[in-house]
Chains A and B, each alone.
Chain A
């Protein structure tokens, strides 16, 4: 019967002659509509608070109208004249007109900031010109260069031409330590200005190390949790969850107290005679401090998924393996460990993703060498006001995590992920 229906698309009808599919859809539509209305608030909430900011960030990483909006006339001149055209009097006229208008509207600094991203030190050039432009007399080419000779620099004109387009991929170039040469080809930035690639590498390496440490420490704890009798297990579980109940800031500062030069750990080591008084370890304000504190903070995210896969594994599997002749190590490796892989995957992915984007702890205990990419993103948002670069960095971070997720799916299978 089932075969018949599959091979032969006879249109089935209800007893009153309506096509069956239509009748079914009609019968279900009300229920579907109701179900949709039930989840609609959540859907709206997610769309507004989660999806739309991400879309905005993505957009901002390729769209920056600071120059083009505030300097419309010169931007129009760049559009009309192809690359390589020497700036003529018309160009200078447009530029000065823009400077006058922007100066009056007090937005010349914004336009200058955009140029300043590409060519450091030019912000003051713009603010000064914004103040003085209305006093300039034609011919503007001469009077503007007299105001400041940098206005004749071909490099400046090259940069202005590039930033006159609101849509640009330049922020992505900057995010991976690349830039456009005056001729328009892509090249690496000078050696001493390369920061981002190193920082990405450091962030991913540190996250991998933290994930590994969490696994190393968390696996036995999760095993104990799953194996201990209930009353001990719940006590241990409280200890695992305790960090969740204290503020992140408190935990991080606690590590500062423990790890600093005159801190508890160093003092203990000195007291025990393991290190000399003048050999106190530097464990804070560097990569090591970041790693220790973050491993501790992220540990529950490893332990809980592991626990949730270990708990339902009956002890009879390992017993069976032992009775079949396997040593306890073989029984663990061949029988127990493979059954906990979904938990390792979930915990590992969780810890890795969280640590890639971690911000507070590296900011507090990381010092200069323990800063991660997220700290730089924060810097560009809060300090340098270069949101587009921050957005590009964040987008690269997001993309690499999605890549990781895809890789995990290929290697282990996302369906094997068990978060709880």
Chain B
């Protein structure tokens, strides 16, 4: 499912660049191979070029440089209506002057399909999103979630093998969004389609995708499975962007294969795994997930360095305890502990020692 090389990719971006104004590159050397049947999410902050990439793939923007291939064929010059790519827009873009049924029949009609076949397909697509009774309504008479389903059904009704979705759930409330995430995932699996999905929401990206491409500043910062992205971020941007993260700036004290020690600003030394630092004395930012920090000495890994911390704030969150600590002069350090039997509740002002397994602390670029 996951394309490893551009050759067996279903969709491939090869050295794609894009500039709108000839002054600034919005997309800088994009290389991306998407396998058939894959669910790939483009995640990134606003303005990072996600929509631009999607629009180039759909054919509404032309790549300034580079090649975009679909099923091995260069589609740079193919007009949008000949690409056969389904697309779900952020504002749904349901045609307001047509009923739901007419909206769904539109792609079939322009393909010259006969009426009876059309009706059968429309009905099937509506049933697929559980909207069978709404064929005669106008889009304006539907709720946001219903419109979303119709937009989805319309993008799927002509059996495209590739579907693009640009923040399709952005306008829905949390509960509906989670429900629709599930629906989209279910459709993806049952239909075997390839999905390229754009979102702001990292939770959405992590739960739905086979792989996530994290965009920033017109480049893919990391392309990896959700678990790799969370547990093994390649650089500080990804570590910061995905999930909650503690960062400790320092310099490399010693480096030895896949283990290094880092001296923090206040002179304390910690353990870490070097990721994109290679030499002694280099500046680094060590990233540790809050749930991987240990404060009970008996649980600490053998020989791990520990550092001093002072409890600033303790928040009871039900299943979790969230504790904010002052570590190495900064009081932004957060740890999370599960509310298990006999778990300690730390009190503000308490002095503790914290530590972690070296593989959980990643020495990344200093940003």
Contacts and interface: CB of A to CB of B under 8 A. Distances in A.
Interface of A: 314, 316-317, 319-328, 330-331, 334-335, 338-339
B97 A339 contact: yes
Interface in B205-252: none
A338 B97 contact: yes
Interface string B67-94: 0000000000001110111110111010
A319 B60 contact: yes
Interface in B39-78: 58-60
Nearest to A330: B110
A339 B95 CA distance: 9
14 contacts: A314-B93, A316-B91, A319-B87, A322-B59, A322-B79, A323-B81, A323-B86, A323-B87, A323-B155, A324-B158, A325-B81, A325-B110, A326-B106, A328-B79
Contacts of A322: 59-60, 79-81
Contacts, number: 65
Contacts of A323: 58-59, 80-81, 83, 85-87, 155
Contacts of A319: 58, 60, 80, 87, 89, 93
B107 interface: yes
A325 B107 contact: yes
Interface of B: 58-60, 79-81, 83-87, 89-91, 93, 95-97, 106-107, 110-111, 154-155, 158
The 10 closest A-B pairs by CB, nearest first: A324-B107, A320-B93, A323-B87, A316-B93, A322-B80, A326-B110, A338-B97, A316-B89, A325-B110, A325-B81
A324 B110 contact: yes
Q: Binding site of B, secondary structure by majority: helix, strand, loop or mixed?
A: loop
A335 B102 CA distance: 11
Nearest to A319: B60
A335 B97 CA distance: 8
Nearest to B55: A319
Residue of A314, A316, A323, A330 contacting most chain B CB atoms (<10 Å): A323
Contacts of B81: 322-328, 331
Nearest to A335: B95
Contacts of A334: 106, 110
A321 B87 contact: no
A321 B95 contact: yes
A352 to B, nearest CB: 24
Contacts of B86: 323-324
A320 B98 CA distance: 14
Contacts of B83: 323
Given A319-B87, A339-B97, 17 more contacts: A314-B93, A316-B89, A321-B95, A322-B60, A323-B81, A323-B83, A324-B106, A324-B154, A324-B155, A324-B158, A325-B107, A326-B107, A328-B79, A334-B106, A334-B110, A338-B97, A339-B96
A325 B154 CA distance: 12
B87 A325 contact: no
